Amino acid sequence: MLAAVYKGKKNIEIRNIPKPEIGDNEVLLKVKACSICGTDRKIYEYGHFKIKEKNEQILGHEISGVIEEVGKKVDYYEKGMRIALAPNVGCGFCEVCRKGLEQLCLDYNAFGISWPGGFAEYVKIPEIAVKHGNLVEIPKSLSHEEAAVIEPLSCCYNAYESLNVRPGESLLIFGAGPMGILHLILNKHLGIGMTIVTDVDEKRLKLSQGFGADYIVKSDSGIKKTIMSLTNGIGVDNIITAASVPEIQEEALELVAINGKINFFAGLPVGKEEIKLNSNIIHYKQLKITGTTGASLKQFRQTVKLSQNAGCNLKKIITKKIGVEELSTIFEDISVFNNNMKIVVSFER
C-alpha cells in the first residue's frame, strides 16, 4: 500500500509498504480521507515524545474510511461500514479512563502518533481500540471528507461543553485559523447568538468570511473599544482563544462580560506558558475559565450525531484536497497552510 512514512524531523518518504495483516480481534480500515492537523505540522517540524528518534511512523489522526476486513472474533463490525475513527485510546483501567476521559489518560495511544495513522491506504485497528468503540459509524449524509473533520470538530465540542454555552449568548473567537472557524461553525449550528471572529492576520480574516460570523475584526490595540461598542459596553458572554498567543489569554479577561466564560483552547508554546492574570477581574466579574484538550469518545460520538444534518456545513471548511504522495513536500510550503482552511488527504480522487 502507498504510505507517507515519517522518518524523523522534516523527513517524510512516500513509499509502498506491506498492507497490514490483522489478527482475530482486529479490524482493517481502508482510509478514504485524512485531514491534516496543526499537530501533524508540529511533529514534522519538532518530532513527538511518543515517536522515538530513528523510529518511523505514519502520521495522520483525523481519519475516515470503510471497513475492509474484520477479524474472526470481532462482533458487530462488518465489511463495508463507513467509519470515522476516534484517534485517542486510553488504557481503560486508570481513574481518568474510568471517568470517561480517555483522551487525558497518561498511558494513552493514538493513531498517527504512537500507532500508524491515516496518511496511508490502510490502518490496522488493534483489539483495544475495537473494544473501546473507537470505530464510529457515520451516516450516509456525511461524506468521508467531512467525517475526517469530525475529530477536530469534536475538540471544539469539548470546549463548547466546558463553557456550557447557552442559546443566544454571544461568542468571541480569537484566531481565524481552521480551529477558530470550526468553533464558529459548531456554535452557529448549536444556536449561539452574536459571533465575532478576530485575528491579527488580514489574510486569515479574509479567508474566514462566509462561515457566518456576524463580525470579523482585526485584533489590534483598539480591540477592546471595538468589542465594547459591538456589545453595548457589556463585553462578550463566551470567549475561545484558538491561537497560541499568550497576550490574547490576558486580553480575554478584559473583553468578557460579567459572569462570562473563557476557554483556553489553544496551548501556548513552550517557554511562553506563563501569563499575567488579573485575578481580581476573575473574582469580581465572577468569571469561569476552562481549558480543554482533545475530546472524549463520548464527545466524538456526539459530534458525529450533531454534524449529520445539513445545517452543519463542514464541506466548506475543506479548501484543498491532496493525494498522499504530496505529503512529502507539503509541510515545507507554509504558504499552502496560510492560504487554506482544512487540507484533506483524499484517497478517493
* Positions that interact with Zn ion (CB under 5 A): 37, 90-91, 94, 97, 105
Cβ of residue 279: shortest distance to Zn ion, in angstroms?
Answer: 32
CB 104, min distance to Zn ion, A:
8
Query: What's the rounded Cα separation, in Å, for the pair 128 and 104?
Result: 16
Q: How far is the CB of 62 from Zn ion (least distance, A)?
A: 5
Query: What minimum distance in Å lies between the beta carbon of 91 and Zn ion?
Result: 4
The span from the first CA to the last CA of the chain, in angstroms, equals: 16
| Residue 172 CA to its chain's centroid (Å) | 19
Could you give the residue ranges of the DSSP H alpha helices within the chain? 38-46, 95-98, 127-132, 144-148, 150-163, 178-189, 202-207, 223-230, 246-255, 279-284, 297-306, 327-330, 334-338
Query: Among 70, 68, 78, which Cα is nearest to 24's?
Result: 70
Which CB sits closer to Zn ion, 89 or 252?
Answer: 89
Contact 67, 29 (CB under 8 A): yes
We find the least distance from the C-beta atom of residue 40 to Zn ion, in angstroms, to be 7
Of 10 and 98, nearer to Zn ion (C-beta) is 98
Which residue lies nearer to Zn ion by CB, 259 or 319? 319
Question: What are 63's strand-pairing partners?
Answer: 34, 85
- 22 vs 101, which CB is nearer to Zn ion? 101
Q: Which is nearer to Zn ion, 105 or 159 (CB)?
A: 105
Q: Report the distance separating Cα 4 and Cα 13, nearest Å.
A: 6
Report the residue count for the chain: 349
- Which lies closer to Zn ion via its Cβ, residue 97 or residue 245? 97
Q: How far is the CB of 98 from Zn ion (least distance, A)?
A: 8
